[in-house]
Amino acid sequence: MINWIFDLDDTLYSGPFESYEKLRPNMEAAFILQKLPGKIHIFSNALLIHCHNVLLRLGLYTLFHPRIYSRDIFKSIKPNLKSYLEVRKYLNSNQKDINIFFDDRLENLEMAKKIGWKTVHIHKIEVKPKPKFVDSWFPDINTALHSFSQRKIEVFNPTYNRRYI
């Protein structure tokens, strides 16, 4: 099983968050997310109501619901190890599963790597030198999704360059 785990703010949309009214549907992301093998999830430090509102505005709500893990569910937030272990429990993840985590914050990716997840840094600026705990970097979510939709996930071969593929 492949679990695609996405942070919300500054990852599924380019931030900073100003208002729900300024968010626009991302039909490109919706199209690719529907075709990815496995399950897609949200893992956010935001409140559940914020996750729902953002996903509705982006046109992605039905793709993620009910697999939205927010700060209302857990007693701790990223980058606390407990929150990652709780999400892994909800995923029903085992050793053979591939968990791919997308986030804009390096400290969140570092903790994900410690529990064996593949990590994808979504940020406009590429960090150099590349941290060892980052498998891939992309400037935005659509570029990342395009790249992953073209890969054979079973032989996950991470990249970290401007060629993206």
Cβ neighbours for 6, distance < 8 A, ≥ 6 positions apart: 12, 40, 41, 42, 43, 101, 102, 141
88 occurs within a structural domain: yes
CATH of the domain at 132: 3.40.50.1000
Quick check: 123 and 117 in contact, CB under 8 A?
no
Tokens of 107: 């400290």
Task: List the domain range (segments joined by +) for residue 107.
Answer: 2-155
For residue 120, being part of any structural domain is answered with yes
Q: What total number of domains does the chain contain? A: 1
Q: Which amino acid is at 38?
A: G
Output the pLDDT for position 47.
96
Q: What is the pLDDT of residue 152?
A: 63
Q: Which amino acid is located at 92 in the chain?
A: N
Q: Indicate whether 59 belongs to any domain.
A: yes
Side chain identity, residue 97:
D
- Predicted local confidence at residue 153, as pLDDT: 55
Residue 85 lies in a domain: yes
Q: Within a domain: residue 31?
A: yes
* pLDDT at position 161: 39
- CA–CA gap between residue 113 and residue 135 (Å, rounded): 9
Q: In 3D, which of 130, 122, 124 has the Cα closest to residue 146?
A: 122
Domain assignment present for 162: no
DSSP string, 33-93: HHHSSSEEEEE-SS-HHHHHHHHHHHT-HHHHTT-EE-TTTSSS-TTSHHHHHHHHHHHT-
Residue-by-residue pLDDT tens, the chain, 165 positions: 999 999 999 999 987 889 999 999 999 999 999 999 999 999 999 999 999 999 999 999 999 999 999 999 988 999 999 999 999 999 998 889 999 999 999 999 999 999 999 999 999 999 999 999 999 999 999 999 999 998 765 445 444 433 333
Instruction: Give CA angle at 154 (84, 126), nearest 5°.
Output: 60
Q: Is residue 119 part of a domain?
A: yes
Q: Establish if 165 belongs to a structural domain.
A: no
Specify the pLDDT at position 16: 82
